[in-house]
Structure 1
């Protein structure tokens, strides 16, 4: 016995230009029928929230699947899978496609070479799939855009829920972020973390989808933009604060990566006021509020 609910969509060419579009969503549980062997022309993320079963991919081996887990189905890849016929499983799935899938694959969010991914917790991804399902009503005029936005959110939720990522994030990335503003080379960062440069590159590529140099650069330039916008510190002082002893090199690097010079960025984004710079991240549940205004005197 099993239960199933699913909806499928046909986004227009204009919607495909969003980069990602949702093609379908489903929620199922029980001793579901075997899927495949088959090959699809689009991506599917299948989230197993409870139960178990098996998956067989291109290598022909039957891989056990135990919840919580993710099954990646990628275009052109034969696959064959099923829930345990005695216990079944609880699954939800989202079909999607679009040119942005190439970038998400390069960044490591989609893993064609690892079709079965253990998850630490399926709650986050399942919540996103539930939002897709709620948006799937036929009278929703925002259906295609709302579900497309949710696919982006789902890929992030799945990346965060991977069992090889701790709740606080990847320890290597945490260490790089902590030391990002020190004028250290990639080799020196590797030594600090007890790794070879090659091992550090592999870890950062897997965790952040980029090289250590680009990961550090993103953090440094982000801080530099904040300081340019919210303080009146000279550009040379900002360069030193974010790890560059040579202000001219910093300015050239900033201009090349951001597309505008530091001085020009400050002219466009500057909001410097006395006491306006803070390292504290606002609490979304307690947003900053303007003081209450006194009412007009009687």
Structure 2
């Protein structure tokens, strides 16, 4: 479900999401201190371009997040934002614990898939990712329900061909995100001014032929520098975000109109239909025509 997108100058790998056809972009995995990866540094330091919720049902441990040690305590849910560097050298303490991580991209949820990805960080369902500390405590009475949700989500993802599996995954993830958002602290993290400026410029120009380089130069930066900074702060490059916004518009047009791909590709800023098909299939695992038929 994930592969190395790039490796930062300090050796930190940044993982990307690889979409599987027919299922929402969601994965549930146990927090395993013994998970060895050929790309991981000795302290398991890594980042990713997707979103992660970690829930500790029993036991505890600690991880490093962007250079700070974060304790993982029983009953807590933690939000790990895209671009945040995780150093999991302390996960050995979870040997006798019960914990999971839920990795996803927000467009797994229909209400989020239909809006600009540039606004995801401010959506109420993702409130914990924008809250100070990015952690919350699940009330004791609600913890059995959380374990049931995670078990159900894991089971549905293991049987993608089962009738209604996709809808079941989406519904269960929505329940988890709603419950998480209701627990989120009221104090939000201040928006990143540079990321806000970049996203505003993408929103203004995505439907044109503007390139990532054009956007960087319009904001007074070199393309290489701005790409590096945006990747460090959001987990994705400037071009990734520009392409994501264009693909979201392409999906909207596929869903709401009968326009041919030749017109949709131009209106979404993707140039020609061949390029639209390649980018769409790489991102969602299926062609635009199939997505339109199945939608």
TM-score, normalized by length of structure 2?
A: 0.47
- Identify the structure with bigger relative contact order (alpha carbons < 8 Å, sequence gap 6+): 2
Larger radius of gyration: 1
TM-score, normalized by length of structure 1?
A: 0.47
More helix by share: 2
